[in-house]
Structure 1
Amino acid sequence: MCMVKFGVLALGLAFPLWTFTAVFGVPVEGQPNVIGPRSVRAAPGEDVILPCHVEPQLDLQDYTIEWSKPDLKPQSEVTFVLLYRYKKEVKSVKSEAYVDRTRLFTESLKSGNVSLQIKGVTVEDQGEYKCLVPLLRSRNRQATIRLEVDPSFAPTETSVDPNNFTTPEPTDQTDRESGRSHPGVWISVLVFSFVLLAALLKLTPAFDITSGI
């Protein structure tokens, strides 16, 4: 009898551990997330759009929007591909390589669209671009998109795979910690697990190891 009940107990203890692991990775519901594709392909000379938006839909007209290229060689403190602040573009901090070449669709900011257009892309524009909404009340305030400029790619066919969108990424260590499940969720999982364990123990018939003798 002890051996059979020990097996049920082991099953009961394993179940809450599996459940906790599943709940641990679930994003907090209701928070806005910055979302974009992992990559975009384009031909040299093409005008390209790097799609990026906030979901659920949110009016971003009063927010700061930062587009940067981490591998761009810094020019003093000028590191932005585009900086939008106080309802206008801040051109004084824009990299020379992108002057008169990048823009937001400001009329669409009210619906959460923060996509970036780059005019006349070249091979030098290839690389990773980061879209950050620093004041967004969320742990997922940024998305990273890789632009691939391919000379063999047919013009006017900018490619974005609709199934190739990034999972929202925490912006720093504090944000990663804030993404952990709330204690209330853990307690609920543990209570449910113990109730299930009790039910399993109650329903499992006792087995007498001497019954076969």
Structure 2
Amino acid sequence: MSVLEAFKLSKHHVCLTGGSRAVCPTQPIKVVEGENVALHSGLDPPVNLSRYTVDWRRVDNQQVVYVYRHGRDDLDPVVDQYRGRTTINHEALSRGIMTLKISSANLSDSGSYKCFVPKLKAWCEVQLIVDEKETKTDVSSTTGPAVEEEPESEDHGGNREVGRAAVISTVVVLLCVLVVVFLVLRSRATQDRMEMLPGQKEPKQNGRHLESNTQRAERDGDQEEPAATGLLNV
């Protein structure tokens, strides 16, 4: 199957001419900004267009988009917007196919295009729609409301900071309690040692007192014995 036969089997309409029919698309051609696009058109039955003039223009402002004349490309009448961006397959012209190719489509390329073969009075009109390239913002807006991720991350960060501060404060309190307990225990131990020192001295002093009393009693006894002896002698 030839390119023109496959082209005719798709959704296209036919423009009657004197000898051939121009086969044109019935639906607009849609493309995303920045992509390459092809505007299809052809003749049925096929006619060798290698020696014919093929002219592509904008319908709205009649700007020349592409011209093939005298067996070669004629770039002089082409406007700057399309210069170097439009072309057709020269070999396909021999099979009656005059598909226009536009590279790097932009939004200003949207509009109606007319392909015309003056000598055959054959023409086609093709509608091109260039859609704006989708961005991340556009995608999120089509799927639903944008989720504010930054505030949530800040909240999580704040919660982590609060938890960290609580842990630190708890540790500080525990350390303070341990220090206070240590100081209290140390103070009590010091007091106990201070109380034990006088208690250890008392028995020594009492012992001294007892010893001195005993000695006194013995001395008294020694003093009383002569008196008793004297009484016995009497």
**TM-score with structure 2 setting the length:** 0.48
| 1:1-213 to 2 correspondences below 5 Å | 31-38=19-26, 39-72=28-61, 79-136=63-120, 141-151=122-132
Q: Secondary structure at the match of 1:66?
A: strand
1:21-71 Cα offsets, whole Å, 9 max, x none, are: xxxxxx979830122213200000011000111111111100000000022
In structure 2, how many angstroms separate the alpha carbons of the residues matched to 1:131 and 1:65? 7
In structure 2, how many angstroms separate the alpha carbons of the residues matched to 1:67 and 1:29? 18
C-alpha spacing 1:30/1:127, structure 2 compared with 1 (3 Å): closer
CA RMSD, 1 decimal? 2.1
C-alpha spacing 1:28/1:133, structure 2 compared with 1 (3 Å): closer
C-alpha spacing 1:86/1:44, structure 2 compared with 1 (3 Å): same
More displaced, 63-72 or 29-38?
29-38
Q: Secondary structure at the match of 1:108?
A: helix
C-alpha spacing 1:126/1:57, structure 2 compared with 1 (3 Å): same
C-alpha spacing 1:29/1:83, structure 2 compared with 1 (3 Å): closer
**TM-score with structure 1 setting the length:** 0.52
Gaps of 5+ in 1: 1-26, 154-213
Q: Secondary structure at the match of 1:98?
A: coil
Q: Secondary structure at the match of 1:91?
A: coil
Aligned residues: 119
Gaps of 5+ in 2: 1-14, 135-234
In structure 2, how many angstroms separate the alpha carbons of the residues matched to 1:46 and 1:87? 29
C-alpha spacing 1:28/1:44, structure 2 compared with 1 (3 Å): closer
In structure 2, how many angstroms separate the alpha carbons of the residues matched to 1:30 and 1:135? 10
Q: Secondary structure at the match of 2:114?
A: strand
C-alpha spacing 1:35/1:70, structure 2 compared with 1 (3 Å): same
Q: Secondary structure at the match of 2:108?
A: helix
Residue of structure 1 equivalent to 2:174: none
In structure 2, how many angstroms separate the alpha carbons of the residues matched to 1:117 and 1:36? 15
C-alpha spacing 1:44/1:60, structure 2 compared with 1 (3 Å): same
Residue of structure 1 equivalent to 2:199: none
Q: Could you say which structure has the greater relative contact order, defined with CA pairs below 8 angstroms and 6 or more residues apart?
A: 1
- Higher Rg: 2
List structure 1 segments (4+ residues) > 3 angstroms apart after TM superposition.
Answer: 27-30
Q: Secondary structure at the match of 1:96?
A: coil
C-alpha spacing 1:28/1:124, structure 2 compared with 1 (3 Å): closer
Q: Secondary structure at the match of 1:92?
A: coil
The answer as to whether partners of 2:16 and 2:22 remain within 8 angstroms in 1 is no
